[in-house]
Amino acid sequence: MLDCQRDLFDIPREVAYLNAASFAPIPRAVRLAGEAGAAVKATPWRIEFGEAPAERVRAAAAAMIGAAAGDIALAGSISHAMANAARNLPAATGSRIIHLAGEHSSNVLVWERAAATAGATVEAVARDTQASWTEAVLGALARPGAAPVAVVALSPLHWTDGALVDIDRIAPAVRAAGAALVVDATQAVGAMPVEVARWRPDFLAFPTYKWLLGSYNLAFLYAAPHRQSGTPVEPNGYNTPDGTPAQGARRYDMGERNNLVALPMAEAAFALAAQWGTARVAARLAWLTERLAEAVAGLGVPDPAGRAGHILGLRLPGGMPDGLTERLAAAGVHAANRRGVLRLGPHVYNDEADVARFAAALRTALAAR
Ligand SMILES: Cc1ncc(COP(=O)(O)O)c(C=O)c1O
């Protein structure tokens, strides 16, 4: 298992930051890379900033998911990446687009718009909190008499509580239904293994600012080889050089792609991720969430079998008290309230002291209600 990497960050000892699933702190090396990038913008006549950083980052992003560099487009956000996916997955009139109930808006709104334009319907697949998302999605796909499915837009785990969605099982059923598979891997890449060769998605997107410990405003869109002849939502000089589409997934690249700050930050962050290895990071995060679960046993801890290793979603008995996350923050503990679930997302900088601080702060806050 990977040792604690806190020394690489500037996180005061009295802060227990358990919110990487929202917005992760960056290692010092990533911050310095960003600062050096900002300095270039102050004196742009001194340094030529060409294509090379974008291409190095594209290759590093591809390596995280077992893809080829040419299968990756650079995007500004997940919603931007998903807009490109939706634009190039036309749904037939009367067909269904399926997503998980309560899914993040960046993987919902775009499908609602696509469905409204096409005369298709959106089905938000619901489940009982004790049931599995996997069975719910498989059931929706196979429901007798239901409209044909055009697109299934999923995450490998639910963003609110870390409940697993078994894409290994769902992907073949999506293909058998003749539908396209779109994966929002925001809460996965960097924290658990993701291999496009296993799921064979049509499109898959992930950003750098959470589990990959990079900047805001940089995300990636994987496009399967048979989805590389589409049109970008925003034609620009990068994705359409000389008026003709760029090769491969580069045809979906965003404008202002050669970002002076975000790209060097991503490069530094990917270098650390490669040095650590996803499997070792995942093992450390699983160990941390187990320690967290033990420390707050009885406080709405989910069954370990149904959750991802890196997110722990507590459904507190009696519900989420008003102002709980604010009270925890005042005690130096940072977690998120996501649709009534207390979501904990530890990362490589967390340790047993953070676990103890969290458990004590939570018990104190709950005793006061
Ligand atoms: C599952 C998921 N998708 C996407 C996002 C972010 O989307 P965007 O980059 O469009 O802001 C988040 C952020 O919390 C998320 O949890």
Q: What integer pLDDT is reported at residue 286 of this predicted model? A: 98
Work out which ligand 1 atom sits closest to the CA atom of 219. 9
Residue 91 and residue 151 in contact, taking contact as beta carbons nearer than 8 Å: yes
**Whole-angstrom distance, CA of residue 92 vs CA of residue 115:** 9
| Overall average pLDDT of the 163-187 stretch | 98
| Total Cβ atoms within 10 A of residue 352 | 12
Nearest residue (by CA) to ligand 1, atom 13, is 22
Q: What is the pTM of this model?
A: 0.98
C-alpha torsion angle, residues 195, 201, 203, 204 (rounded to 10): -30
- The protein residue whose alpha carbon is closest to atom 16 in ligand 1 is 159
DSSP string, 266-308: HHHHHHHHHHH-HHHHHHHHHHHHHHHHHHTTTSSPPPGGGB-
Class of 6-27+277-367 in CATH: alpha beta
Domain with CATH 3.40.640.10 in the chain: 52-273
pLDDT in tens, 309-364: 999 999 999 999 999 999 999 999 999 999 999 999 999 999 999 999 999 999 99
Whole-angstrom distance, CA of residue 286 vs CA of residue 276: 15
pLDDT tens-place string over residues 107-136 = 999 999 999 999 999 999 999 877 899 999
Architecture of the domain delimited by 52-273: 3-Layer(aba) Sandwich (3.40)
Closest atom, ligand 1, to C-alpha of 82? 10
SS3 174: helix
Average pLDDT over residues 206-231: 98
Radius of gyration of the chain (CA): 21
Closest ligand 1 atom number to CA of residue 22: 14
Read off the pLDDT of residues 265-316 as tens digits, 9 standing for 90 and up.
Answer: 999 999 999 999 999 999 999 999 999 999 999 999 999 999 999 999 999 9
If you measure from the C-alpha of residue 21 to the centroid of ligand 1, how many angstroms do you get, rounded to a whole number? 9
Question: Starting from the edge strand earliest in sequence, which strands make up the sheet with 312-314, in order?
Answer: 312-314, 341-344, 336-338
User: Is-contact 252 229, C-beta < 8 A?
Assistant: no
Q: Where are the CATH 3.90.1150.10 domain residues in the chain? A: 6-27+277-367
